[in-house]
Structure 1
Amino acid sequence: MMRADLHKQPEQVSAMFDEVAASYDRTNTVLSVGNAALWRAATTRAVAPQRGESVLDVAAGTGTSSASLARSGAYVTAADFSPGMIEVGRRRQAGVPNIVFVEADATALPFDDGSFDAVTISFGLRNVVEPKKAIAEFLRVLRPGGRLVICEFSTPPVGLVRFGYGFYQRYVMPPLVRLSSSNDSAYEYLNESINAWPDQAALSAWLREAGFTDVAHRNLTAGVVALHRGVKPV
C-alpha cells in the first residue's frame, strides 16, 4: 500500500490518493462523524457561486465539492493531480453537465491568468509540497475582484477541544480507518499532515503575503476545521 510522508513528494501523494479513491468519500463521512457534509455546505456558501460564473475547485477529488458548487449554475472546473480520483469523479458526477475534470498540479495550474471568478480548495492545500506556491497560483488564475476560499483542518483554539481531538486522532480514528478504508497507512499520513499544518493565523498571513486582501477566517467544529477567505485586488 502506498503511503506518503511529510516530504509530500507529488508522485507519492498522487499514488496514495489513487489507491483510496474508490472508498474516499465513504471514509471521509465516517472519520468526520458526518461533519464532512456540513463543512462542504459551509464552503459552498462561502464561495457563493453565481449562475454563469467560472469556479475552479482545486484538489476536487471525486467531485463531491464540485457538484455542490455546480448546483448554483456556475461552470466548475474540478482539478486534481490524482488520475484515480479524476476517474472516479468523472463516473460519479457524469450527470452534472457543468463540471469538467482536469488533471492539474496546484503549484502549476494549466490555466491562463484571470480565468476564474472564484477558486476553492478543500482539505487539499496541506497535501501540496509548496503550499505558498499554490496560493500564488490561485491569485494568478483569479480575475481582479475574484475570491478564494480554503477549507482545511486547523488548530482548535480551546485547549480542552485540542485535547479531545488529539485523543480522537490517536485512539478512535485508527479502528474507524480499518473498517472504512482500503489503505490504513494513508490515514496515518492524514494525522501527521494535520498535526504539522500551521494554525489559522499563519495561513491567514500566507494569504496576505501572496497579495490577497480582505483576508478572514471562520472556525468550523470548534476550530477542527477553518474556512479562510481572501479577495484578489482590483
Structure 2
Amino acid sequence: MHPRWVRRGADAYARRVARAELDKQPTDVRRMFDTVAKRYDLTNDLMTAGIQRSWRRSMVDAVDPQRGDLVLDLAAGTGCSSEPFFTRGATAVPCDFSVGMLRQGKRDRPSLPFVAGDGTRLPFLDETFDAVTISYGLRNFVDPVAGLREMRRVTRPGGRLVVCEFSRPTNGAFRSLYLDGFMKALPRIASVTASASDAYVYLAESIRAWPDQAGLADLMVEAGWQAPEWRNLTGGIVALHRATA
C-alpha cells in the first residue's frame, strides 16, 4: 500500500460517526447549483488559487483508469472532472442532478455524454461501471450512505470508488485557521465572481459539519464498500477516499 494512503483497522468500523446536521433538501440544493452554474468553474479556481486542478489530477490517478474502462463521474457539474478520463483512454459519463450545471457543461464541453440523474436513484443498470467517482458532491446528499449504496449497485464486482471531498486538516493550528478563518471568509471571496455568494455560506457550513477522514471511511463500509483507505491532499483540506466493490 502506498505510504500516503491510510487504512482503518477492521475493528474501527463498528463505531457510529457524527453525520452532517444540515437540512439538505434536494430541491434547495439543486436550485442553488443551478444559480451558480455559469461561473462555477471560475469561482472554484479563485477560491482554491488553482490548487483544485492538482486535486483533480490526484483523483484521476487514484482511479487509475485503464483503456476501455467505463467511469461514472457523479456530481460532475459542468464536466471538468470528467474530461481527464478520456485522455487516459477511458470513457466517463458525467452525471448531475442540477439541470443548470448540465446545460452549462453542454455549452462548455459539448462532446461529453452528460446524463441527468439523482445520486440516490441512478438511471443505470446494476454493475454497469468499472469505476465511480464523486468530487465535492457526497457532502450534499441528504443520506450519504444511501448514495454510497447506489454507487455500489452500479459498480461491477471488483470495481473502484474514489471520493474526493473536503475534509479536516491534520495539523491542529492549521485546522483552526482553516475552519475558523478561511471558512468565514469564503462567501466574501466567492462574491468576487459568483452570482449567488449565499450558496458559499452553505458550502462553508457543510464542510464544517462533514465527518473527518475516518468518519467517511466508516460510512463507506456501512454502504457495502470494501477496504476503504484515504490520502490527504494539501494538509487534509481535501481527502481522497477509495474502496473496492
Q: What is the TM-score with the length of structure 2 in the denominator?
A: 0.89
C-alpha contact (below 8 Å) 2:145/2:222 kept by paired residues: no
Q: What do residues 141-163 of structure 1 show as CA deviations (whole Å, max 9, x unaligned)?
A: 00000000000000112111111
Matches within 5 A, 1:71-90: 71-90=87-106
Offset at residue 175 of structure 1 (A):
2.6
Q: How many residues align?
A: 224
Which letter maps to 2:183? Q
Please tell me whether residue 182 in structure 1 is matched to residue 195 in structure 2. yes
Alpha-carbon shift at residue 100 of structure 1 (Å) = 1.1
AA aligned opposite 2:222: E
Secondary structure at the counterpart of residue 23 of structure 2: coil
Find out whether 1:60 has 2:38 as its counterpart. no
Gaps of 5+ in 2: 1-20
Instruction: Give yes or no for the alignment of 1:196 onto 2:212.
Output: no
Structure 1 ranges of 4+ moved more than 6 A: none
Runs (5+) with no aligned partner, structure 1: none
Shift of 1:48: 1.2
Alignment correspondent of 2:163: 150
The 1-side partners of 2:188 and 2:223 are apart by: 40
Q: What residue identity is the alignment partner of 1:85?
A: M
**1:95-140 deviation per Cα after TM superposition (whole angstroms, max 9, x unaligned):** x4xx311110000111111000000000000011111000000111
Rounded to whole Å, the distance in 2 between the matches of 1:210 and 1:179 is: 39
The amino acid of 1:220's aligned partner reads L
In 1, the alpha carbon distance for the partners of 2:115 and 2:43 equals 24
Alignment of 1:131-142 (within 5 A): 131-142=144-155
**Does residue 28 of the first structure (1) align with residue 44 of the second (2)?**
yes
- Over the matched positions of the two proteins, sequence identity in percent amounts to 49
Normalising by structure 1, report the TM-score: 0.93
Aligned Cα root-mean-square deviation (Å): 1.2
Aligned ranges for residues 1-234 of structure 1 at < 5 Å?
Answer: 6-94=22-110, 96=111, 99-166=112-179, 167-171=181-185, 173-232=186-245
Q: Distance in 2 between matches of 1:138 and 1:162?
A: 30
CA contact (8 A) 2:73 2:92 kept: yes
Separation in 1 of the partners of 2:89 and 2:130?
13
